[in-house]
Amino acid sequence: MTLRFTHAFIFDLDGVITDTATQHLQAWHNLALEIGVPFDPQMGEKLKGLSRMDSLELLLAGSKRHFDDRIKQQFADRKNAAYVQSLARMSAADLLPGALDALQAVRAGGWGLALASASKNAMTVLDRLGIAHLFHHVVDAARIARGKPDPETFLAAAQALDVFPTRCIGIEDAVAGVQSIRSAGMFAVGIGSAEVLGAADLVLPDLTALQPEALLRRLP
């Protein structure tokens, strides 16, 4: 049997391909104001890459009040409704610098291309950006039992593409995401600041600097 791909590139979505991190943060901030829980200014970095419910738990941990599961679900739904509403304004103009070129370069090289986002809205976002057709596989966050920093999301992508994790390159903007890639046994490219993403194998400021072929030469 021949494998379909020798290597694969597995991209995170929010904060790598498009900047919905800002919209997620705004929606959480609004919820915090509405329900009267404190909002730590460092929250932006901490929330990145976490699932919706894990993000909510982190937000509520800053409050001394107790919320039961029914109320928590209502809060999560309220935040998501606000976030989904903000997606209606999204288009290809919201692709981050270098994103389209990077995805197309991976396709042109004949390598596997997957999306490993924690977002249950990932398909909607890809459709709005006009890039859904470029991916060989999009991980369904609703089927992931343990979110980032657990390796499950990235491993699910590698498995779907039938590529060994050691032959995969994961690209992430979040600390939790870089941890997820590293514990999956993949090469981790951090997008953002080296101070924050020190655990990555390589940190780039954005996708304009991503060179798929050069990266593959760094694999063991």
- Positions annotated as catalytic residues are 12, 14
Q: Which does 47 bind (CB under 5 to 8 A by kind): Mg ion, ligand B16, none?
A: ligand B16
* By the rule CB under 6 A, 184 interacts with ligand B16: no
E strand residue ranges, the chain: 8-11, 112-115, 137-138, 168-172, 187-191, 202-204
Q: Distance between CA atoms of 21 and 183, rounded to whole angstroms?
A: 23
Interface of this chain with ligand B16, residues 64 to 83, rule: CB under 6 A: 80
Q: Distance between CA atoms of 198 and 145, rounded to whole angstroms?
A: 27
Judged by the rule CB under 5 A, the positions of this chain that interact with Mg ion are: 12, 14-15, 49, 173-174
Give the three-state DSSP class for 85.
Answer: helix
* By the rule CB under 6 A, 121 interacts with ligand B16: yes
With respect to ligand B16, which residue has the nearer C-beta, 106 or 174?
A: 174
Sole binder of ligand B16 in the list 48, 128, 167, 182 (CB under 6 A): 48
* By the rule CB under 6 A, 179 interacts with ligand B16: no
Q: Which does 51 bind (CB under 5 to 8 A by kind): Mg ion, ligand B16, none?
A: ligand B16
The helix or strand, by DSSP H or E, that contains position 122, with its residue range, turns out to be: helix 122-129
With respect to ligand B16, which residue has the nearer C-beta, 8 or 122?
A: 122
Neighbours of 106 (CB within 10 A): 24
The residue number whose beta carbon is nearest to ligand B16 equals: 117
3, two tokens: 């494998």
Sole binder of ligand B16 in the list 8, 10, 13, 204 (CB under 6 A): 13
C-alpha distance across the termini of the chain, in Å: 24
With respect to Mg ion, which residue has the nearer C-beta, 15 or 190?
A: 15
Burial of 126: CB neighbours in 10 Å, binned 0-12, 13-18, 19+: buried
Binding region for ligand B16 (CB under 6 A): 12-15, 21, 24, 47-52, 55, 80, 117-121, 141, 174
